[in-house]
Structure 1
């Protein structure tokens, strides 16, 4: 039997305590974890560490939950992110698009008393499938908190950049681009990685990369990184900035050229995407991703209680 099916049979989450004010919301990713003690949408306490799901030993999740409760309080928990994947604690499955908070709440699984895991979201279009885990709480939370219109294009830059089109407050469709991972692969394993020794900065080299990324010949432009250094066409110190601009430019040109985009990102990465979006004729609106996550988790809690 599928683990999530077993989990669903274990009973309600702290059925006698569902009305209590406080709960713990955890954004538990592959390599990092952030936990918040929340009361009516307000952060009472929080913690963050590098104990992602890949760092938890087999059978160790119940112990980690106990340690989180020892740190933040003995109360019910909502877990989001890769903790609900087939590489995490329990496979929580996926809710299909168009997805709402109510649908996600109804599909949660219970791996142990007092803990619920939020499912991911799946989307299939033109024969291509896509999935997300954790980002859905931020996306829908942005709608709940009024941080973005109910009909909007949202972007979550990162290792795997998410582009989500929201319709009437629901996740109607989305696309994932391996932008950040591709940059890391090129830097660490490709021939042009020998040129990518400088820091990435939002200067002329980055802007040149955005321009070239929008042309649609990214593979040829990537090969051109080494000749540009050999022939003195670009300073070697600028290679990393150019490649970053090239990848982000191609990503933004494919999904956001001339569009109004609401960005959920940290200040540094958000600035790069905002610059590329503006260069391609669009407008970037910055959103506090932590506020969006807290709003989404709070609404899910309210839906359950």
Structure 2
């Protein structure tokens, strides 16, 4: 495999690594996501990465391949593999390619991802997760993925993080959601309450609890987070199941607490190591 630059280019952030002989030799991380790139500016933005990491071929994944990025790289349908992603690479310059996303559709219900597929399949390729696994990538839009025999066979996206932000910034209960979110009694209470099946009523209950003095407002944000994450996990996780989490430590701790409260097990996976393993394998497979 020849040396190259691997780029995880998202909406607001960008990470890039110079890979030599299959190993990371240098890296950079900045806030120059696709929203920071002006129209027609991706060639110049890529040149800036090369100025920092070297004049090498570039293999990119993430929202850079969306219709708001450098070019629409399309989607590979489930079941998806690293081989299929390599076969679907979109060339955008003489020495630059974008990995396609993955899609799934069943009747009128569909879903899409960009960038997460490299992490998911890379985790399996690196031995960080088994070939048959339930995997979760918490975040603004939380991804739940089923891996079977090393292939991504199905997935679902939950707007968990976005809903929390919308409630905090724009909803009636947002005025009370100013405290920190940690794994504690309030968060665990929210996870437990999420099992009662009336999420919207439970959310309004945050307002009532504040008015009646039933809960300290400092605990409201953690409680709401527990409600949302608990509901998210209940929709996907079965008792006794193992979930491989590709998450940062803080968010991973919250999901671990919720998953364990539901009688399942969580294992944290290094998402950056998973991405690198996936994109290096795609580079090896590149025609």
Distance in 1 of aligned mates of 2:6 and 2:223: 38
In structure 1, what is the equivalent of residue 82 of structure 2?
Answer: 101
TM-score where L is the length of structure 2 = 0.98
Among 4, 8, 29, the residue aligned to 2:10 = 29
Q: Which residue of the partner structure matches residue 286 of structure 2?
A: 304
1:293 match: 275
Deviations along 1:129-185, one digit per CA (max 9) or x if unpaired, are 000000000000011001111000000000000000001101000000000000000
Unpaired runs of 5+ residues, structure 1, are 1-18
Residue 304 of structure 1: how far off its partner (Å)? 1.1
- Matched ranges for 1:1-305 at <5 A: 20=2, 22-258=3-239, 259-304=241-286
5+ residue gaps, structure 2, are none
1:125 Cα offset (Å): 2.2
* Distance of 1:192 and 1:119 partners within structure 2: 39
1:215 CA displacement: 2.1
- 1:232: Cα distance to partner? 1.4
CA deviations 1:203-234 (Å, max 9, x no partner) are 10000111111222110000000101111111
List 4+ stretches of structure 1 deviating above 3 A. Answer: none
Which whole-Å CA distance do the structure 2 matches of 1:256 and 1:87 have between them?
Answer: 33
Whole-Å separation in 2 of the counterparts to 1:142 and 1:214: 31
**Residues 59-115 of structure 1, C-alpha deviation per residue, up to 9 Å, x if partnerless?**
100001111001001000111000000111100000000000111111111111100
3-state SS of paired residue (2:235): helix
Distance 2:102 2:178 in 1: 37
Measure the CA separation in 1 of the matches of 2:140 and 2:235: 17
Give, in whole Å, the separation in 2 of the partners of 1:126 and 1:287.
33
Instruction: State the distance in 2 between where 1:42 and 1:193 align.
Output: 46
